[in-house]
Amino acid sequence: MHANRRLRIAIDMDETIADSLKEHIRRYNSEFAEQITADDLHGKHLEEFVPLDRSDAVRSMIRDESFFECLSVIEDAQQVIRELAHDHEVFIVSAAMEIPESFTAKHRWLRRHFPFIPACKVVFCGDKGIIDADYLIDDEARHFRSFRGNGILFSAPHNLLETAYQRVASWQDIRRKFVGLQTTDTPTKRNQLVSTSDQ
């Protein structure tokens, strides 16, 4: 008989718990007098969608430290993550090395909006393959390639054409998958969890 154990769940920041796209579009529309929306980006990042001569300007917007200070929280993320952290071991994991200017601002944002996640469970890294967890919830499918656990794709405009991974559309979807769930520490049980999680 195996005792129940808590799952280890790693959760991305940008476009998973922090609505960075909303702020990115707002700054772009303000800078270039445009009126694009998230729906326009189907299958593309903002920098891939805009005219080529604006791509560098779009990328530089997220290197401004003030960008991360004003991001809103994606709907229901706080409540569901609080519930997850009660039942499971939750880590916030960001590939912050891609934008090192963001370290301090991201940390302040997490302290403000997710104070119940201790600092020892916040990981800023480069390759998320280093993370040892059962699940990684992320909007970027590329992070699943070197991750040894199970990737769950959090829907965002840029990943709508991705079909290789199980997908969730909201934090309520995540609640239905995980809240109140525990598993025994055996390969058989873990495989059952993966195979039934979309049912």
Catalytic site positions: 12, 14
Q: In what order do the strands lie in the sheet with 89-94?
A: 122-124, 89-94, 8-11, 135-138, 150-154, 166-168
At residue 150, the 3 state secondary structure works out as strand
SS3 content of the chain, % helix, strand, coil (to 5): 50, 15, 35
Structure tokens at 52: 């080529």
Backbone angles phi, psi at 36, to 5 degrees: -75, 155
Backbone angles phi, psi at 165, to 5 degrees: -130, 155
How many other C-beta atoms are found inside a 10 Å radius of the C-beta of residue 13? 24
